[in-house]
Structure 1
Amino acid sequence: MGIRLSCRQYNWNKVSQGRILPSITSKAFIIDRHDRSVVVKTWQQMCRKQSECGEAILFKLYPATRQFFTIFDADESIEDLKCTPHFKTHVNRFMAYIQLFVECHFDVRECQKLMSVLAVSHKHLNLIPDHFEVFPPVVERTLKEVLKNECDNSIIQAWTNFFKGISKVMMEELSNVKSPQFCDIVDLEN
């Protein structure tokens, strides 16, 4: 099992050499050119520790969003939760989506495709924009842990803008998801 979503492949060697792909002015992006560059560069360091970063983000989010993780026992301790395969899968999926946003170069259309998949699976949670407000401070703490002295206000602002862009696209896609259609039960014997 896993996520199979396609975006253009990205040559990570170009990033490590400091050559970020140029933006195409005819496209719309969820964040500006500077923020894209900052997120791509810092993502390299975060993706080396994807599981740890994903766990840090979601475990620090967990107390504030406990009611949204309906597959987990609400009274389960974080230590016990770390051992559950469902949470590990959620962490890996979360980080895979960030990877896909980076690979898509934050193109609005590509992000909409990705978020439409997430919107369908999250529609039942009745998400509102306020639910996404928990991400920037948690990501900021995670960036500071991973990047240490390299983390500055420019990096924090770029990632904050990135999550605001994701949140905006997610809310748009959630509004496009139709509620599930339920069929009437038909008595075949009559």
Structure 2
Amino acid sequence: MEGKRDFDHLTQEDKVMISDSWGKVYANADDIGVPILIRLFATDPSSKQYFSKFKDIEDLKELEKNPHLKNHARKVLKAINTMVENINNAEKVTSVFNTLGNSHALRHKVEPRYFKVLSDVIVTVLGETFTEVMTSAVAQAWRNFFTAMCANFNDVYQEVGWNGN
């Protein structure tokens, strides 16, 4: 995994809007993470197949209370937080993408398309939940961020020889 991963294509304005808005979002991480994953599963039910500890729970209300779901929601938001905090630090961002990309490709065997689905869900849920923060410009900055995130994950998947098995 030699490739450099970064958010260099984002404008400085994008980076500022992402950092500023994320502070408000991450302050509410425990309240926003579960709704994001619940929306992911409602939007694309096949995404639940990768979660052995709760993939068989059909009732979304019951799933909301599942401690394993809450734990994974925290992990997702913590990973995004690390990327946002290090948005200008290619070395740290590369490390995060390599670690997460490796585990999702090789251990969990998650199809890379789910990163795009999750990204779209996050922008939607943030827009609905943080209406005062997620202006159209901020939402576009986040879409740009997630486009870069997905491209970085795709690069890792390619480097590890992802073949879907």
Aligned mates of 1:138, 1:59 — CA distance in 2? 10
One-letter code of the match for 1:103? E
Structure 1 residue 77 displacement after superposition = 1.5
- The secondary structure found in structure 1 opposite 2:58 is coil
Determine which of 118, 127, 130 is the counterpart of 2:111: 127
Does residue 143 in structure 1 map to residue 126 in structure 2?
A: yes
Structure 1 residue 106 displacement after superposition = 4.3
Find the counterpart in structure 2 of residue 87 from structure 1.
Answer: 69
Structure 1 residue 139 displacement after superposition = 2.0
Aligned pair count? 152
1:74-111 per-residue CA deviation (whole Å, 9 max, x = no partner) reads 34312222222221111111011111012212433322
One-letter code of the match for 2:17? V
Larger CA deviation: 93-102 vs 65-74: 65-74
Determine which of 137, 148, 159 is the counterpart of 1:176: 159
Aligned mates of 2:135, 2:154 — CA distance in 1? 29
Find the counterpart in structure 1 of residue 48 from structure 2.
Answer: 66
Tell me if structure 1 keeps the 8 A contact 2:21–2:133. no
Determine which of 111, 130, 138 is the counterpart of 1:155: 138
- The secondary structure found in structure 2 opposite 1:112 is helix
One-letter code of the match for 1:172? D
Structure 1 residue 115 displacement after superposition = 1.3
Find the counterpart in structure 2 of residue 54 from structure 1.
Answer: 33
Determine which of 51, 58, 72 is the counterpart of 1:76: 58
Structure 1 residue 30 displacement after superposition = 5.4
Tell me if structure 2 keeps the 8 A contact 1:135–1:163. no
Hey, which of these two has a bigger chunk of helix by percent?
Answer: 2
User: TM-score scaled by structure 1?
Assistant: 0.70
Aligned mates of 1:106, 1:77 — CA distance in 2? 41
Q: Provide the identity percentage.
A: 22
Tell me if structure 2 keeps the 8 A contact 1:30–1:108. no
Structure 1 residue 54 displacement after superposition = 1.3
Larger CA deviation: 73-82 vs 30-39: 73-82
Structure 2 residue runs without a partner (length 5+): 1-5
Structure 1 residue 144 displacement after superposition = 2.2
One-letter code of the match for 2:27? R
One-letter code of the match for 1:52? D
RMSD: 2.3
One-letter code of the match for 1:133? K
Using CA pairs under 8 Å that are at least 6 residues apart, name the structure with larger relative contact order, 1 or 2: 2
Bigger Rg, which one: 1
Does residue 110 in structure 1 map to residue 92 in structure 2?
A: yes
Aligned mates of 1:50, 1:31 — CA distance in 2? 24
